[in-house]
Chains A and B, each alone.
Chain A
Amino acid sequence: MRAVLIFLLAISCCARAAEPDLLEPDQAFRFAARLKDASSIEINYQIARGYYLYRDKFQFTLAPASVKSGTPQLPPGRKYRDDSFGEVETYRGSLSIVLPFELADADVPAIRLTAISQGCADIGVCYVPHEQKTELRLASLSPGAMRSEAAPGLFSKVGSAADDALVARVFEGGFWLVIASFFGFGLLLSFTPCVLPMVPILSSVIVGAGRPVTKSKGFVLAIVYVLGMAITYAAAGVAAGLSGAMLSVALQNPWVLGAFALVFVALALAMFGVYDLQLPVSLQSQLADASSRFHGGHTVGVFVMGVLSALILGPCVAAPLAGALLYIGQSRDVVMGGSALFAMALGMGVPLLAVGASAGALMPKAGPWMETVKRGFGTLLLGMAIYVVSPFLPVSVQMFLWAALLIVTAIYLRVIDPLPPAAHGFQKFSKGLGIIALLAGLAYLVGAFSGARDILQPLSGLRVAESGSTAPETPFERIRSGAELDSRVQAAAGRTVMLDFYADWCVSCKEMERYTFSDERVRARFRDMVLLQADVTANNADDAALLRRFRLFGPPGIIFFDRTGREIQGLRVIGFQSADRFVAVLDQALGLGQ
């Protein structure tokens, strides 16, 4: 069996080239900023696992000139000795920097922030200093303005800079979110068919057979037992975090992550009852023997029983636990790993505590619903599989996978089966959940096929297409040769000029036209510019000369000229750019051009 698995894994792995897949700098170092208060900006970086930023390489500049920036407050980084540079400090994970500023002019509507950062990947390559920009509207400081901008919606991500910061803050609070989730998973795990029926038996074992105890004594013993269990789990979590940290380079490799995903899928199958995953029965019974040697009723004995019981992995717990450990290993966070598994064990211990405290009155009834909980974990593990490989997949493939998972789950929740007339609450509830899953799944399916670019907004492709068809044509002036270009740039008389290289066969150019040029913010900035377009569809001698002059290889390419008619160096747009990013480029062009 093992040989077969390894063989199958080997086949699937070699289908792809061995070159490491690196994230684009914007993905590796996700950037967001928001106004913290009237005199400081909070700048957030979400640094992908396996990547880091240098503490001493940040540069922040603010525009317009009436905004003076103070000294950025950089939190201490991780120090280490580098062979080339001596002691350096780096950041990993999430980073928050506060940049104070002063306003010389109260009428400034918005601050433009340009952030330069420099970082590397653990596999031994470095990114060139990377520039990221955002605009912070000062009006957004007043709470009223904030509220009017925030339109609710399942998939709509409203506003640009402010909302990115919001997302970053949610991740900052990620630690407690993870802990709470693991507690919840623990609680759910205790409702699986191989745990819940055991709780009353376990409870009597802990208390010690044939001995009358008070409720409070029973509760204390239950707590001791659960703590014993929780400490074992926490140790496992720490071990997973440590081994993940040691394997940090390997964990950046798509193959390793792909293998992880396959393991998650295999674990999910165990939860669906395709096969049973548990410790060998002989080992389980040995552990059970060992723990029964300690007598119930005594604090120390009960604690050791708790420690040992955590090692007895039954068929319902083994697979989710393995999944949790893999997740932690991949996150490489030792503290989080230990805490999360501790919380999970506490969650698993809740029914036991309830029994201890209430002498059995608070127990839910065992029944077939527990199988549903088990299958729920299977679904969760499949979700994990998709999550783990998502950095290496195009958005549309990710969306397709999520769609498949959600829709199949919905069908299992009997979305399209009619409810029996005497349906009870739980069936109605699960059907409701199923319908949400089905609709979300369909949204993702539509997103996957309509070229949505944002996993949070699967339907954005449709929305933009709709507005694009009604938007008026962008007023570009066509130019045919270098001479014509020169005369138009001359005639621009102090305005910033944008030259767009276009061709009918250029897909990115059409996308730019449809998604980016149609954006209101882009159009507003276009009004302050002279817009020229070189159509190089024919690729005649003039076209080739124009391309050569700008050392371009072909469309799409956008070049800006300042008011003296010189190209603004370093501001070219090559390839598709989203409206958000393009607006920032236009701002810079307008700023430099004046």
Chain B
Amino acid sequence: MKARTLAVLALVAGLSTAGGVAVHLWSRGGSAGTDPAEVVERILAAQHADVKGETRRLGDWRGRVLIVNYWATWCAPCREEIPVFVKLQERYGDRGLQFVGIAIDQPGKVAEFAREFGINYPLLLGGVETIELVRQVGNRAGVLPYTLVIDRKGKLVSRELGALKEDRLEGLIQPLL
């Protein structure tokens, strides 16, 4: 290989590295003013109606390892992961694990789905403001499913975009329990 070719390749790689870093910093900087830790506080404080119409807050479950799952019945990938949640809630509920589903959906459909899938954790309802919060915490396109893992102290441990596999989720939960 000629020295000149090597130099050109090195230059290309160098420039693309710099570009990658710049874009990365840029996309981080784009959400300036929305510190995830602070957004999580607002997420915990936000009011949601549950399926029965009672007002709940995620903060009500503070002290437990909280898995907040944003989903909807019309969202195919969301439906796929729910049996995993039911299973893990069953397995680790006694040790302080708490799943909470926040559905961007109609109460009737959510209730029907909950019966059909035997959901054993609380389901709350979300709206436009919920999506806005989700965007601010890092899901910039506002898509579902989206899952937050919050430890017993209310600290955000992980943000998961897309359907979660059982082993991945278990790996995230285990150290927190």
Interface of A with B (CB < 8 Å)? 1, 4-5, 8-9, 11-13, 15-17, 19-25, 28, 57, 82-85, 118, 120-121, 123-128, 258, 261-262, 265-266, 269, 274-275, 392-394, 397, 551, 553-554, 569-570, 572, 574
Contact = CB atoms under 8 A, between A and B. Distances in A.
Most buried by B among A82, A124, A275, A392: A124
Given A125-B141, A126-B74, 18 more contacts: A11-B17, A21-B27, A22-B143, A25-B141, A25-B142, A83-B76, A118-B74, A123-B162, A125-B161, A126-B78, A127-B142, A127-B144, A128-B72, A262-B12, A266-B12, A397-B19, A570-B127, A570-B128
Contacts of B141: 22-25, 28, 125, 127
Contacts of A553: 34, 39, 42, 136
Closest 7 CB pairs of A and B: A8-B13, A22-B141, A15-B20, A125-B143, A126-B75, A12-B17, A12-B16
Nearest to A54: B74
Interface stretch (B1-9, B57-65, B88-96, B149-157): B1-9
Contacts of A5: 9
Contacts of B9: 4-5, 8, 266
Contact of B5 (A21, A85, A275, A397): A275
7 contacts: A15-B21, A15-B24, A85-B76, A124-B77, A124-B163, A126-B75, A274-B4
B56 interface: no
Nearest to A572: B128
A11 B72 CA distance: 39
Q: Is the interface of B mostly helix, strand, loop or mixed?
A: helix
B70 to A, nearest CB: 9
B159 to A, nearest CB: 8
A339 B144 CA distance: 37
Interface of B: 1-2, 4-6, 8-10, 12-13, 16-17, 19-24, 26-27, 33-34, 39, 42, 46, 72, 74-80, 104, 127-129, 131-132, 136, 140-146, 161-163
A19 B140 CA distance: 11
Contact of A22 (B12, B23, B140): B140
B129 A16 contact: no
A21 B30 CA distance: 14
Contacts of B4: 274
B77 A125 contact: yes
A19 B33 CA distance: 21
A194 B148 CA distance: 59
Contact of B132 (A118, A127, A265, A574): A574
A392 B162 contact: no
Contact of A12 (B20, B26, B27, B129): B20
A554 B5 contact: no
B26 A258 contact: no
Contacts of B10: 8
Contacts of A12: 13, 16-17, 20
A19 to B, nearest CB: 7
Contact of B161 (A20, A120, A127, A269): A20
B97 to A, nearest CB: 24
Contacts of B80: 83-84
Contact of A1 (B1, B128, B136): B1
Contact of B8 (A11, A127, A269): A269
A13 B12 contact: no
Contacts of B128: 569-570, 572
A128 B104 contact: yes
Contact of B143 (A85, A121, A269): A121
Nearest to B38: A553
B20 A258 contact: yes
A551 B129 contact: yes
Contacts of A551: 46, 129
Given A125-B161, A262-B12, A274-B8, A17 B24 contact: yes
A120 B142 contact: no
Contacts of B33: 554
Nearest to B2: A275
B138 to A, nearest CB: 8
B9 to A, nearest CB: 6
Contacts of A85: 76
A84 B13 contact: no
A16 B25 CA distance: 9
Nearest to A121: B143
B16 A126 contact: no
Given A8-B9, A553-B42, A393 B76 contact: no
A16 B24 CA distance: 6
A251 to B, nearest CB: 17
Contact of A274 (B5, B77, B127, B131): B5
Contact of A4 (B6, B131, B142): B6
B114 to A, nearest CB: 15
A13 B16 CA distance: 9
B22 to A, nearest CB: 8
Most buried by B among A8, A20, A24, A572: A8
A8 B20 CA distance: 13
A17 B27 CA distance: 10
A526 B38 CA distance: 35
Most buried by A among B20, B46, B78, B140: B20
Given A4-B6, A12-B16, A553-B42, A128 B21 contact: no
Contacts of B22: 397
Given A4-B9, A274-B4, A274-B5, A13 B143 contact: no
A5 B146 CA distance: 36
Contacts of A261: 16
A19 B143 CA distance: 13
B85 to A, nearest CB: 15
A393 B23 contact: yes
